[in-house]
């Protein structure tokens, strides 16, 4: 009986390999910022390839992130953006069963190496061991420990002019799977917040893209409007995230209201 239960848990909480970032097609995702399981279920059912769970700017704690991961199910990859490069936050996100992590404000090769170290079990890194959802709550501990170093995806964000300055060294760090460009924070680092089409900001983004492509490093980017992301799909970016859960809700609600209000006023 115990063996049967363990086998069932092992299957239920199995962590699948993250999408092939180097050779696969562009993976289209969207951002999750609220801890409502129904929202996650709706977005997962919509057909997105992956979910960008925002633990940096969203009001999400550890338990909320776990609830989102459970709601998403096993048929969609989930990357959790942690609040910083501290190892505790990274390891907690991975222990919850995320397919990978997105780490903001990684500006140097040393910081990128620190992130990778936190994601890898010894001897490749210093990630601590425990019994959590990723391990099937213990039922698949050995399996997870033996495969996680190869399965977990490490995505770092280049969203500061210092990251652009150091991008040649950053892409050489072993274990980094993708560079995710953050246009808005990048613009803010030039004291031009929101001016993502400014010449300095565009030049920095182009440098990051050029260096990554020259080194066969997959790229990712986020945008609110689908039209703004077409060029990145055409350039074969590995990860594209479009839209935010609350913007979808607000936009659809406003659109419905305007349509009905216009009809009322036409009477």
Q: Catalytic residues, which ones?
A: 57
Contact between 53 and 69 under an 8 Å Cβ cutoff? The reply is yes
Contact between 90 and 125 under an 8 Å Cβ cutoff? The reply is no
What is d(CA 25, CA 254) in angstroms, rounded to the nearest whole number? 34
What is d(CA 144, CA 130) in angstroms, rounded to the nearest whole number? 11
Q: What is the CA radius of gyration of the chain?
A: 20
DSSP string, 102-132: EES---SHHHHHHHHHHHS-TTS--PPP--S
What is d(CA 71, CA 67) in angstroms, rounded to the nearest whole number? 6
CA 76 centroid distance within chain: 12
DSSP character for 16?
P
- Give backbone dihedrals phi and psi of 52, rounded to 5 degrees, phi first: -100, 100
Structure tokens at 17: 């390999």
């Amino acid at each position: 009986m115990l063996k049967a239960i363990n086998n069932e848990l092992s299957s239920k909480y199995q962590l699948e390999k993250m999408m092939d970032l180097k050779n696969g097609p562009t993976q289209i995702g969207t951002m999750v910022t609220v801890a409502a399981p129904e929202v996650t279920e709706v977005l997962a059912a919509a057909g997105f390839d992956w979910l960008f769970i925002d633990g940096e700017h969203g009001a999400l704690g550890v338990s909320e992130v776990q609830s989102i991961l459970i709601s998403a199910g096993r048929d969609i990859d989930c990357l959790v953006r942690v609040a910083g490069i501290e190892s505790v936050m990274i390891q907690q996100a991975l222990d919850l069963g995320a397919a990978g992590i997105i780490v903001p404000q990684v500006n140097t090769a040393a910081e990128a190496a620190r992130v990778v170290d936190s994601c890898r079990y010894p001897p490749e890194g210093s990630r601590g061991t425990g019994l959590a959802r990723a391990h099937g709550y213990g039922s698949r501990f050995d399996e997870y420990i033996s495969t996680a170093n190869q399965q977990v995806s490490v995505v770092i964000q280049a969203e500061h002019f210092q990251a652009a300055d150091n991008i040649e060294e950053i892409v050489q760090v072993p274990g980094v799977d993708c560079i995710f460009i953050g246009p808005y924070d990048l613009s803010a680092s030039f004291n031009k917040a929101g001016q993502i089409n400014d010449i300095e900001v565009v030049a920095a983004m182009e440098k990051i893209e050029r260096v990554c492509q020259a080194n066969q490093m997959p790229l990712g980017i986020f945008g609110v409007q689908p039209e703004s992301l077409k060029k990145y799909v055409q350039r074969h970016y590995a990860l594209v995230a479009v839209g935010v859960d609350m913007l979808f809700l607000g936009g659809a609600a406003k659109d419905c209201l305007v349509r009905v209000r216009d009809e009322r006023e036409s009477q």
